[in-house]
Amino acid sequence: MRQITVFTHRHPEEVAPALAELSSQALAADVTLRFDPEETAKLGLRPAEGIALDAPVERDVELVVALGGDGTILRALHYYAGTGVPVFGINYGEIGFLATVEHDDLPGGVRRALQGEFELLKLPAIAVELPGNGPQHAMNDLAITRKVGDRVAELSYSLDGEEAGSVRCDGLVVATPAGSTGYNLANGGPVMAWGVEGLVVSFIAPHSMTARALVVAPGDRITIRSGARQPLDVALDGRPAGRLEAGGVVHAHFVKDLGTLAQLPGSSFYRRLREKFGRLAS
């Protein structure tokens, strides 16, 4: 039996038309849609043919459909990291840089998803080691930030034992190519095209005229040290992941091909960049 996992964003009323279209086409294609307990409750779903409610997240489904923005798509990528199961995003967010199709192409987008009319794009990730939290990963970015109202952070990072940057700032971001158009871009960091192997490190509101973002080679291990007197917040892909104690250390490194994103044939990173953010120069 063909099975697809469905994730949605936090505003169920906005994706109701998409769910109706997806359910109709899936039923006609003899595909079962799986909704975990959180999705079942959030959407207020009732038993119906072709729908599995309160279903555990199975890792051997053929596809994941994410109805939402980049946050929803990232959540799906996290659940299915390392499985090879593609995530097909239909954009119901603000930007939707990771989305496969826009919501105004809903019927056609659902048809392409169910018929497998897409290509696979492998995405790298950041492996993160935070004391007391065990191994974790981020598909977009690792952010270390001071708490609101606390003093300015003092952060430094080194690459394979060689110090590369140290500054008083509001925080530090390590981003993948896919994540380089997010928090890193807001920091004035460089955009990295999908397919580039490596990470970029940038500071948030640095108290320095010389602080610069740095693109890190994929084999270089990043060590981040806090010189602050108070704990700092740690977030992975925008979600709280723990805290970095005063004087603490975080390790991070590049991991190849952890996520799988569905993309329409002929899709171009540079066209997507222009459509979402405008021309780089005009």
Residues in the chain: 282
The catalytically annotated residue of 70, 170, 233, 237 is 70
**Of 221, 224, 218, nearest to 204 (Cα)?**
224
**Of 130, 121, 150, nearest to 257 (Cα)?**
121
Which ranges of the chain would DSSP assign to H, the alpha helix?
12-28, 37-43, 70-79, 106-115, 183-186, 269-277
- 214-216, strands of its sheet edge to edge: 214-216, 199-204, 171-175, 141-145, 232-236, 239-244
* Residue 126 · residue 178 · CB < 8 Å: no
Distance from C-alpha of 169 to C-alpha of 157, rounded to nearest angstrom = 13
Distance from C-alpha of 175 to C-alpha of 187, rounded to nearest angstrom = 11
Whether 60 is a known active-site residue: answer no
Distance from C-alpha of 13 to C-alpha of 9, rounded to nearest angstrom = 10
Active site residues: 70
